[in-house]
Structure 1
Amino acid sequence: MTVLARATEVSRRYGDVLALDRVSLDIRAGELVGLLGPNGAGKSTLINLFVGLRRPTSGTVELLGGSPQDPLVRQGIGVTPQETGLPEALRVGEIVDFVSAHYPHRADKGELLERFGLQDLVKRQIGGLSGGQRRRLAVALAFAGEPRVVFLDEPTTGLDVEARRALWDGVRSFHEQGGTIVLTSHYLEEIEALARRVIVVGHGRVLADDTVTAIRDVVGTRRVSLTAAELPELPGVLGSEREDGRVHLLTADPDRLVVELVRSGTPFSGLEIRPTSLEEAFLAITSKETADV
C-alpha cells in the first residue's frame, strides 16, 4: 500500500523536554489510524510534525512524497487541531466557501454539510453556534479540499454523545470511500469504534502498533467477572474492582484462577471470562512502560 506519511527516527525537543524519542512509523493509503496516549505522550507533537506546524529536532518526516513544509504538498491534507478559532460574523456556508477556495479540488458543499449534520445551519452565523456545532464545523472543514489524508486531533472533545456519533458517521463515510485518516482521542471507545489500526504512544515513544484485537492480546490479560460476597486470595490476580455487586478480576491465567476459586469452596455465581477492553489494555501497556523507565 502507498505510504502517505512517514516518520523516520524522529525526535522533537521543547527545551529540556523530549516530546518524541526516535519515533518511526508509516501511514498508508486507506488506513484509519487511532493514536492513543495520555496527556504529554507526544500525540499532538506527532500530528504537528506531519502537517508541517513543527519541525523535528532530528530524523525526517515525509508527507505525500514531499516535505510537510511545502505549501503545495499540504494542499493534499486536511487538519482539525485541538483548538480552532473561526470568524464569528461569517455564516456556516460562507466559511465553507472560504476554506474550500484554498484548494484546487473542492468537496461538494451540500454533501459536506450533510455528512456532518450541518445542512440546516448553512445560513447561521458562527457566533450563534453551540460549542458542539462549532466543533463539528471545524472537523467538516478538514474535508473541504477533498484531501488524500486527514489529521484530526481530539476531534470530539466537548461533544455530547449524539453529536459525537454524528461526527463518527462523517469520518466513517470518508474512510469507506477510500480516504485516509489519523486521529487522536482520549475516548477509548471512539478508537474502538473507528480505528482499524491503533498506535499507543507514551513517553514520546511508540509502545504498541497493531489492530485493536492485537493490542488486547499484547497485554495477555483476561477479565474474570463473578458475583460473590467475599473472595479468598487467588493466584495471578493483576487487578480487581467491585461494581454493582460484581467482582471483576484481571488475570493472565483465567483457567488457573477459576480452578483455585472452585477448590476454595467459595460460593459464587454469574461467572464470565472475556478479553480485556482496549481501555484495560491501554492502561496495562502504559503502566508497564512507566515501570520499565
Structure 2
Amino acid sequence: MTTTPLSTAGSSGAPAVELCSLVKTFPSRRGSRGPAVRAVDGIDLRIEPGEVVAFLGPNGAGKTTTLDVVLGLTSPTSGTAEVFGRAPREAVVSGLVSAVLQTGGLLRDLSVRETVRMLASTYAAHTPVDEVMERAGLGPLAGRRVSKCSGGEQQRLRFALALLPDPPLLVLDEPTAGMDVTARRDFWDAMHADASAGRTVVFATHYLEEADSFADRIVLVAGGRVVADGTTAEIRARASGRIVSATLPQDRAGELLAHLRTLPGVASVEERGARAVVTASDSDAVARFLLDAGGSDLEVVAAGLEQAFMTLTDGASRSTRTAATAPTATTAPTAPTTPVDKELVR
C-alpha cells in the first residue's frame, strides 16, 4: 500500500519541478556591512514527470542551495518554486517528495531491517518493507547493525527509507557516494525502472561519467546560474563542437595546419605526430577540407563531457556574484514534525 501512487501524482498536468527566476541570497560573512552573496542568481528550470535529471557544477555553484529550495528546506529570496504545482514544503508533507542525502538520519545501534521497519511505522501507509529492501539491494544486509555497514551500504539504506512513501519525486545528493561500480550500476538500473513507471529523479553528482551514463538530461550550474541544459551530446556540442582528426601529407603538413586555423568555427588546432586534431563547431567543413587536402584516417568524435564541463563552467565559476542591495531573505518556515520531514532535514 502506498501513500501517493505514481499514476496520480502527475494527473494535474503540473511539472514535477518548476523554478521561475529563482534567487537565493545569504548575508555576507562580514555581516551587514558587506553585500549579500547570491548563491542562486535567477534560475529558470522545468522538469517533467518521469525525467532523470543530473545537476552538475563545481563547488559553490549553487546546485545544493537549489535542491534545498526544492525540498522546502529553505525559502527563495525572490522568484518562485513549485513541486507538482504545490509549494515545496507542502509537497514534502504530502509525501510527494523524498530525499537521499549523504549524512545523518540513521541510528547506528539498530539493524538494517529494524531501521526500515521503524521508519515505516511512522507512516499511515507505505510500500512494504520487504519490497523496498529488495529494490535497494539490502536483503543480505537485513540483520547487520547500521554501525557495521560501509558508507555505500548506508547510502543504500537511505535509498530504501526514501522509497517507503512511494514518492513521485526523488531528490538525491551524491546518491552513490561510497558504492562500488557494481552497486552503482544496480542502483541506477533501479532508478531507471522507477522513472519508466513515472517517478522523477533529480540528483546532484560529482561523477561526470555517472551523469553521462545514467541521466536523460544534464543541468549544468555555475555561478548560481544554469549555464547549459540538455543531453550530454547537446552539452558537448555547445561547449566545444566536435573533434576532427586526420593524418596529413608530410610534405604539406605545415601549410595545412596554418590554413586549418583560419577556417570559420575552428576553436583549436593541435599537431600530434603526423595527425592534425581540430576542435570546431562546423566539423563537416573541417572534414571536407582535410579530405580534399589529401588527409587520411579521418575521425570525427564528440568532445568529452569533462572538456565541456570545464569550458562551460570556467568563466562563471570564477566570478562570485554578489548583490549590493539585495532584498531581505524570506524567513524559512518552521519545520513541521512529520516523519517525512524529519528524514529530509539532516
TM-score (norm 2): 0.73
**Counterpart check, 1:286 vs 2:298:** no
**Counterpart check, 1:238 vs 2:258:** no
CA distance in 2 between counterparts of 1:156 and 1:42 reads 20
Q: Provide the alpha-carbon RMSD of the alignment.
A: 3.2
**Which residue number in structure 1 is paired with residue 7 of structure 2?**
none
Any conservation in 2 of the 1:75–1:103 contact (CA below 8 Å)?
Answer: no
CA distance in 2 between counterparts of 1:278 and 1:164 reads 19
**Which residue number in structure 1 is paired with residue 189 of structure 2?**
169
What does 1:59-98 correspond to in 2, within 5 Å?
59-70=79-90, 73-98=93-118
**Which residue number in structure 1 is paired with residue 335 of structure 2?**
none
CA distance in 1 between counterparts of 2:136 and 2:279 reads 39
**Counterpart check, 1:179 vs 2:199:** yes
**1:68/1:273 Cα in 2 relative to 1: closer, same or farther (>3 Å)?**
same
DSSP-derived class of the 1:103 partner: coil
**Which residue number in structure 2 is paired with residue 146 of structure 1?**
166
**Counterpart check, 1:274 vs 2:301:** yes
The residue type paired with residue 298 of structure 2 is L
What does the per-residue CA deviation read over 1:4-31, in whole Å, with 9 as the maximum and x for residues that have no partner? Answer: 3222221111223211011122222222
**Which residue number in structure 2 is paired with residue 12 of structure 1?**
24
CA distance in 1 between counterparts of 2:16 and 2:89 reads 15
**1:162/1:291 Cα in 2 relative to 1: closer, same or farther (>3 Å)?**
same
Bigger CA radius of gyration: 2
Any conservation in 2 of the 1:84–1:138 contact (CA below 8 Å)?
Answer: no
The residue type paired with residue 166 of structure 1 is D
**Which residue number in structure 1 is paired with residue 54 of structure 2?**
34
**1:79/1:247 Cα in 2 relative to 1: closer, same or farther (>3 Å)?**
farther
**Which residue number in structure 2 is paired with residue 250 of structure 1?**
279
**Which residue number in structure 1 is paired with residue 237 of structure 2?**
217
Any conservation in 1 of the 2:100–2:155 contact (CA below 8 Å)?
Answer: no
**1:241/1:34 Cα in 2 relative to 1: closer, same or farther (>3 Å)?**
farther
**Further displaced range: 200-209 or 230-239:** 230-239
Shift of 1:210: 2.5
**Which residue number in structure 2 is paired with residue 109 of structure 1?**
129
Q: Which has the higher contact order (CA 8 A, sep 6+)?
A: 2
More strand by share: 1
Shift of 1:54: 1.0
Shift of 1:276: 2.4
The residue type paired with residue 283 of structure 2 is P
**1:84/1:169 Cα in 2 relative to 1: closer, same or farther (>3 Å)?**
farther
The residue type paired with residue 62 of structure 1 is E
**Further displaced range: 34-43 or 155-164:** 155-164
The residue type paired with residue 58 of structure 1 is S
Runs of 5+ consecutive residues of structure 2 not aligned to the other structure:
1-12, 28-35, 322-346
Shift of 1:71: 7.5
CA distance in 2 between counterparts of 1:221 and 1:195 reads 21
Any conservation in 2 of the 1:198–1:210 contact (CA below 8 Å)?
Answer: yes
Runs of 5+ consecutive residues of structure 1 not aligned to the other structure:
none
